[in-house]
């Protein structure tokens, strides 16, 4: 369109478009400078750590860098039979260097991840290598232990050649690449992560459902009560927000333990026998109860903000047109609160799926979530790449849920306030 219209010139002969851009440029720079600190902050605290996490989860350079010559020599090996002398010589050269740097222990740990049995034969090789003669390394190494003559172990070394690997992700799903290079599941009794993933989804789902069931009437009350009561109720809803998460979780521990207040009450009213107090903590029940209470405000607030905008005359109109109170609610009021329900459920679900402290404290063994496993690998096993991989799997799970939500409900239908 602009090409067809005649160019308008300003009084000093510059095209209007150019001078307008010039005038706006200054404002744009100013605006950018205003947001720059925040942008910078976000890059440092958000983009960079996530990028680093992604990198860590697939990074497998350690072995690659420890055995550079071996992997170079292995490029010509077809992997069918034992590699030839060239590979053994290169391996020997790399290994001697590692022994000098006292890093052969790390190599044995890393190789042991890939295949059990490397630890002892590397120890033996180190001792034997001191007496090695020059030349014919193949026979000398094979003589150290019979596993060195087993092609399986050389294949295991070869599998560590790539600088990047997805094996941490497979491990997160209780799968691994077997000797034939196929992706298979680990044995049934060693599958711990799948159970955790499913439990995380299950707990997040039910916490969302419980939060919704409890928050809907509360939010409705908040939106319809006269100001002086609704303010008080609002404070009751927000009070947990102002209390430390740890304090709230700890108070649930006091309430829910076997000799705790809730159990005392049940015994008091004769619901349960004194010698048969139910365990409500250190299991799923504990996670459900505490997480529902803690996440409730995140459901109440979006629902409230949506309900506040629904004119009471709509319900009246529904009734005056002949709808019973239930029909008026179901056909008129409820559909109008869907944006709030969507926002609340998405918020609670996403928060619940990554919840950590509460399940760690009250969840016990059967109530812990995947995030507790991530923390375990961060703090105890120091397998950061595995923790990163699981963290990213969790993140992508959340993104998938967000995407599904957008497909089904539409993200513009969300209303947070």
Partner 1 sequence: MASKKDFVKFDKVDKSYDGKVLVVKDLQLDIAEGEFITMLGPSGSGKTTCLMMLAGFETPTNGEIYLDGKAISSIPPHKRGIGMVFQNYALFPHMTVYENLAFPLRVRKIPKDEADKKIDKALSMVSLQGFAARMPGQLSGGQQQRVAVARSLVFDPQLVLMDEPLGALDKNLRESMQYEIKHIHESIGVTVVYVTHDQSEALTMSNRIAVFNDGKVQQLSSPDELYEKPVNSFVAEFIGENNTFGGEVSDISGGKCKVKLANAEILANPISVKGKGERTTVSLRPERALINPSTKMDNLHKGKIEEVIYHGDHTRVRINLLGNPEFILKVPNSSSNLDIKLGNEINIGWNSDDARALDPK
The contact set with partner 1 (CB under 8 A) reads: 311, 313-314, 316-325, 327-328, 331-332, 335-336
Q: Given the complex with partner 1, which of 175 and 225 has the nearer CB atom?
A: 225
Residues 110/160, Cβ–Cβ less than 8 Å: yes
Residue with tokens 């789902």: 205
Query: How many Å apart are CA 95 and CA 116, to the nearest integer?
Result: 19
CB of 25 to partner 1, least distance (A): 38
Which residue lies nearer to partner 1 by CB, 7 or 316? Answer: 316
Nearer to partner 1, 149 or 409 (CB): 409
Smallest gap, in angstroms, from Cβ of residue 213 to partner 1? 23
Cβ closer to partner 1: 336 or 375?
336
How far apart are CB 308 and partner 1 at their closest, in Å?
15
How far is residue 218's CA from residue 225's CA, in Å, rounded to a whole number?
10
C-alpha dihedral sign at 11, 13, 18, 19: negative
Provide, rounded to whole angstroms, the least separation between the CB of residue 328 and partner 1. Answer: 7
Residues 342 and 409 sit within 8 Å (Cβ to Cβ): yes
Comparison of 226 and 270: residue with beta carbon closer to partner 1: 226
Compare residues 27 and 313 and give the one whose CB is closer to partner 1.
313
Q: How far is CA 266 from CA 1, 50, 259, 280, 289, in A?
A: 77, 47, 11, 12, 16
Specify the residue, 235 or 327, whose C-beta has the smaller distance to partner 1: 327
CB 257 within 8 A of CB 263: yes
Q: How far is the CB of 302 from partner 1 (least distance, A)?
A: 18
Q: Which two tokens stand for residue 377?
A: 């690998």
Q: How far is the CB of 269 from partner 1 (least distance, A)?
A: 38
Helices then strands, counting H and E runs in the chain, come out as 21, 2
Residues 23, 32: Cα–Cα separation, whole Å: 15
Contact residues for 20 (Cβ-Cβ < 8 A; gap 6+): none
Distances (CA, A) of 188 to 153, 167, 195: 25, 19, 11
Work out how close the CB of 329 gets to partner 1 at its nearest, in angstroms, rounded to a whole number.
12
Report the C-alpha gap between 92 and 67 in whole angstroms. 10
Rounded to 5 degrees, φ, ψ at 158 are: -60, -35
């Amino acid at each position: 369109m602009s090409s067809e219209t005649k160019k308008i010139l300003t009084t000093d002969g510059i095209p209007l478009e150019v001078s307008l851009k010039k005038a706006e440029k200054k404002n744009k720079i100013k605006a950018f400078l205003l947001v720059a600190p925040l942008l910078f902050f976000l890059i440092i605290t958000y983009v960079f750590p996530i990028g680093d996490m992604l990198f860590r989860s697939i990074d497998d350079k350690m072995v690659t860098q420890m055995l550079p010559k071996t992997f170079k020599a292995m490029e010509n090996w077809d992997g069918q039979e034992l590699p030839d002398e060239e590979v053994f010589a290169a391996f020997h050269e790399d290994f001697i260097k590692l022994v000098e740097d006292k890093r052969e222990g790390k190599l044995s740990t890393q190789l042991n991840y890939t295949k059990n049995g490397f630890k002892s034969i590397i120890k033996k090789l180190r001792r034997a290598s001191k007496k090695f003669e020059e030349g014919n390394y193949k026979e000398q190494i094979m003589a150290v232990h019979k596993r060195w003559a087993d092609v399986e172990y050389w294949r295991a070394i070869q599998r560590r050649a790539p600088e990047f690997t997805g094996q941490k992700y497979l491990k997160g799903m209780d799968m691994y690449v077997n000797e034939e290079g196929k992706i298979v599941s680990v044995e049934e009794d060693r599958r711990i992560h799948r159970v955790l993933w499913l439990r995380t989804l299950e707990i997040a789902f039910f916490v969302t459902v419980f939060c919704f069931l409890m928050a809907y009437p509360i939010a409705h009350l908040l939106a319809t009560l006269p100001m002086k009561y609704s303010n008080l109720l609002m404070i009751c809803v927000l009070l947990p927000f102002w209390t430390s998460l740890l304090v709230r979780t700890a108070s649930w521990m006091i309430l829910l333990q076997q000799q705790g207040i809730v159990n005392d009450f049940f015994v008091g009213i004769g619901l349960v026998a004194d010698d048969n107090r139910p365990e409500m903590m250190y299991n799923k029940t504990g996670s459900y109860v505490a997480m529902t209470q803690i996440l409730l405000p995140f459901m109440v607030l979006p629902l409230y903000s949506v309900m506040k905008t629904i004119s009471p005359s709509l319900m009246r109109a529904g009734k005056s047109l002949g709808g019973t109170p239930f029909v008026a609610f179901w056909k008129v009021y409820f559909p109008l609160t869907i944006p709030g329900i969507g926002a609340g459920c998405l918020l609670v679900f996403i928060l619940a799926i990554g919840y950590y402290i509460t399940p760690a404290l009250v969840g016990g063994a059967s109530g812990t979530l995947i995030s507790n496993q991530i923390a375990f690998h961060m703090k105890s096993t120091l397998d950061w790449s595995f923790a990163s991989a699981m963290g990213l799997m969790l993140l992508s799970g959340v993104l998938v849920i967000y995407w599904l939500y957008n497909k089904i409900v539409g993200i513009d239908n969300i209303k947070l306030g």
